[in-house]
Amino acid sequence: MNICVIGAGYAGLVTGACFAEFGLKVTCVDKDKEKITKLKKGKVPFFEPGLEEMVRRNAAQGRLFFDTDVGRAVKNSLVVFICVGTPSKEDGSVDLSAVDEVAKQIGASLDGYKLIVTKSTVPVGTTKRVERIIRENCQEPYHFEVASNPEFLREGSAIEDFMRPNRVVIGAESDQARAILKDLYSPLYLIETPFVVTDIQTSEMIKYACNAFLATKISFINEMANLCDKVGADVHQVARAMGLDQRIGPKFLHPGPGFGGSCFPKDTRAFAHFAREVGVPLELVESVIRVNRRQWERMVQKTEEALGGVVKGKTLALLGLTYKPNTDDIREAPSIFIAQELASRGARMRVYDPAGMENASKVLKGDVVFCKEPYETASGAHALIIATEWNEFRNLDFDRLKGLLADPVVLDLRNIYEPRRVQDKGFRYVGVGRG
């Protein structure tokens, strides 16, 4: 079967490459010419473990193609996935302009039956809106259908997540559409992946409900951590004991600087905005958004307090700029907020990240020095801040760091170290929620 995926970003390219790996003929389309040129040469324009190798292998075996022309790809495909970006607007609502633009292009190039599937994260009603736009732009009244198939992959483990998902959600209205989508995912049946097959609105709703719930769990444990800091309790023990309760579960109970990235911040805002618009405000999600923002700010405050109240004129080393490890994505990363905020308060920032340097160098302004590795970063700094939990930062040589730092202060915003281990090396240790 020939399919195409429009939008060859973090989610779309993984989707396309993985479907090709399933044996389908896939064309990944993007309007970004530079991206497509790179992909045609076997170069993945962002960092995702294992992806480049998978892209090259499937391209070499004649199953994966790249194009900038939506029309051509649509004409050659039975199924068209829309996986373009759905960023936030100023007011928190979703900017659907890329989805609308693609829907128009699909409509204009329709030449027979196609199944158009929204994979981008979109508010309830968007897939139906896509259907309307396609119909309005069709040359002739061709029969086509729309469906929703939200994506749950996580950057950093995207291939594994796509290949072994917890579930696949399909929202469709006809047996034919359901059958086509089930067929596409047939390799996952063999590994007994649960399929939730439902209507389109429910499918669209599921994606936002999941992200809002995960964001809520993070904000909840961060609030517990802040209270632990105040009363001298250890949030790790609290989280462990909570997680052992099977009704709660241990996942997503890791305190830290707050959530970031390309999904949770924009999706919680979009969900809250959408719900307000339809007159059913999500009080919990609204407060999760506020709590998270406060958590980012709290990290800056924590740093200031650790340095005696003032960062102006101080040199600070910050490790980790991406919103999580194993990606180069810095979109809404708390580490970027923290680095920028400290720089704007007069700190001289020295920063390092294993994969996010190029992206970070485009956004960080002010007195920021981009270093090549953790020890160079620490040189002469009045504190070391660990902002993202890359494996590379999990076994730092504290004896060496002690000789390099101007003051032996460690702010471990991801709680990757045992406080005692760092303190025993003569450091002042500040974690999140560790009393």
Residues noted as catalytic: 263
Residue closer to ligand NAD, measured from CB, 219 or 359: 359
Of 3, 4, 5, 9, the residue at the interface with ligand NAD (CB under 6 A) is 9
Strand order in the sheet with 348-352: 368-370, 348-352, 315-319, 383-386, 409-412, 428-430
Which one among 16, 85, 257, 419 touches ligand NAD, defined by CB under 6 A?
Answer: 85
**Which span sits near ligand NAD by CB under 6 A: 24-32, 246-254, 299-307, 343-351?**
24-32
Q: Which of these segments, 20-28, 83-91, 176-184, 299-307, binds ligand NAD (CB under 6 A)?
A: 83-91
**Of the candidate residues 7, 165, 257, 408, the single one contacting ligand NAD (CB under 6 A):** 7
Burial class (CB in 10 A: 0-12, 13-18, 19+), 39: buried
Please count the residues of this chain forming the interface with ligand NAD, following the rule CB under 6 A: 27
Q: Kindly tell me which residue out of 36, 51, 73, 83 binds ligand NAD, with binding defined by CB under 6 A.
A: 83
Residue 35 or residue 114: which is nearer to ligand NAD going by CB?
Answer: 35
**Smallest gap, in angstroms, from Cβ of residue 196 to ligand NAD?**
16
Q: How far is the CB of 211 from ligand NAD (least distance, A)?
A: 9
Helices 264-277, 283-306: crossing angle, 10 deg rounding: 140
Encode 309-348: b = buried (16+ Cβ within 10 Å), e = exposed.
Answer: eebeebbbbbbbbbbbbbbbbbbbbbbbbbbbbbbeeebb
Q: Considering only residues 249-308, where is the footprint of ligand NAD by CB under 6 A?
A: 262-263
The residue (of 116 and 307) whose beta carbon lies closer to ligand NAD is 116
Which residue minimizes CB distance to ligand NAD?
9
Q: Which is nearer to ligand NAD, 11 or 51 (CB)?
A: 11
In terms of CB distance, is 181 or 422 closer to ligand NAD?
A: 181
Contact with ligand NAD (CB under 6 A) among 27, 58, 77, 120:
120
**In the complex, what is the shortest distance from the CB of residue 115 to ligand NAD, in angstroms, rounded to a whole number?**
18
Site string for ligand NAD, 146-165 (x = CB under 6 A): -----x-x-x----------
Q: Is 29 in the site for ligand NAD (CB under 6 A)?
A: yes
- Footprint (CB under 6 A) of ligand NAD, residues 194-253: none
Instruction: Quote the CA–CA distance of 373 and 393 in Å, as a whole number.
Output: 10
Q: Quick check: 153 and 164 in contact, CB under 8 A?
A: no
Q: Is 35 in the site for ligand NAD (CB under 6 A)?
A: yes
Specify the stretch interacting with ligand NAD by CB under 6 A; choose among 8-16, 59-67, 246-254, 351-359.
8-16
Q: Which of 3, 5, 10, 382 binds ligand NAD (CB under 6 A)?
A: 10
Q: Which is nearer to ligand NAD, 120 or 268 (CB)?
A: 120
CA atoms within 13 A on the CB side of 327: 21
Stretch that binds ligand NAD, among 10-18, 251-259, 289-297, 400-408 (CB under 6 A): 10-18
What do you get for the CA distance between the two ends of the chain, in Å? Answer: 58
**Pairing state between β 168-171 and 409-412:** unpaired
| d(C-alpha 32, C-alpha 56), whole Å | 19
Is the CB of 81 or the CB of 296 nearer to ligand NAD? 81
Site string for ligand NAD, 86-115 (x = CB under 6 A): x-----------x--xx-------------
Which residues are near ligand NAD by CB under 6 A? 6-12, 29-32, 35, 70, 83-86, 98, 101-102, 120-121, 151, 153, 155, 262-263
